[in-house]
Amino acid sequence: MQFDWKAVWDRKAGDEPGDQYVVSGFEHFNNIDTEAIAHHLCRLCKIESGHSILEIGCGGGLLGRHLSSQFEYVGTDYSAKMVQRAIELNRFSAVRTDADNIIFKDKSFDHVFAFGVFHYFPDYEYAKRAISEMERVARKTVCISDITAESKEPMHLLYTEDFFPGYQISSQFYERPERRFTATRYLE
């Protein structure tokens, strides 16, 4: 039987006390500079004033809180409880949607990104559908970051760079012992 990650995220969002790092699953990395990561993402994707951003798997909003103060930002998550918690914590706009079936119409946002989400997907077919959905709703860039190449957690789905053809591969946005990477596609 498949591991139920959704139950984990519902619990983190709904019942677990703690700060935003705990809600977002970064309790062991609660010293990472999320503002610097948000800046790095903006530079990589060439995000400029007036651009719109959609985040897939916004969690408690560790990155969204920085982006929503400067850009037109919408968070999404498949956990309705997480969406509710993200809105309470950050006061940004967020909606419930699955990564492989995004509710927005084609080319709705300039930039679409996911940070720390793809290793929770059930399988590689799901991941391919998610990539295709992210490309469908984006106008300028799709960025997938914090992709697990290695993990101590056996339930994580692992990826190699060649899973992302047409994407520019770069390093992870913060230090951690196991290797992770970033894949960016420029659509125009």
Residues engaged in binding ligand SAM (CB under 6 A): 9, 24-25, 56-63, 77-79, 82, 98-99, 115-117, 120-121
- Decide whether 2 or 188 has the Cβ nearer to ligand SAM: 2
- Decide whether 79 or 184 has the Cβ nearer to ligand SAM: 79
Nearest distance, CB of residue 96 and ligand SAM, angstroms: 9
Alpha carbon distances (Å) from 63 to 36, 73, 84, 159: 9, 11, 16, 23
User: Which residues, 6+ apart, have CB-to-CB distance to 51 below 8 Å?
Assistant: 71, 72, 110, 111, 140
Nearest distance, CB of residue 38 and ligand SAM, angstroms: 9
Distance from C-alpha of 188 to C-alpha of 184, rounded to nearest angstrom: 12
Q: What's the DSSP call for residue 157?
A: P
The token duo for 74 is 């919408």
Nearest distance, CB of residue 63 and ligand SAM, angstroms: 4
- Decide whether 175 or 188 has the Cβ nearer to ligand SAM: 175
First-last CA distance in the chain: 41
Chain position whose Cβ is nearest to ligand SAM:
57
Three-state secondary-structure class, residue 3? coil
Nearest distance, CB of residue 82 and ligand SAM, angstroms: 5
Nearest distance, CB of residue 179 and ligand SAM, angstroms: 17
- Decide whether 45 or 58 has the Cβ nearer to ligand SAM: 58
- Decide whether 30 or 188 has the Cβ nearer to ligand SAM: 30
Measure CA 183 to chain center: 12
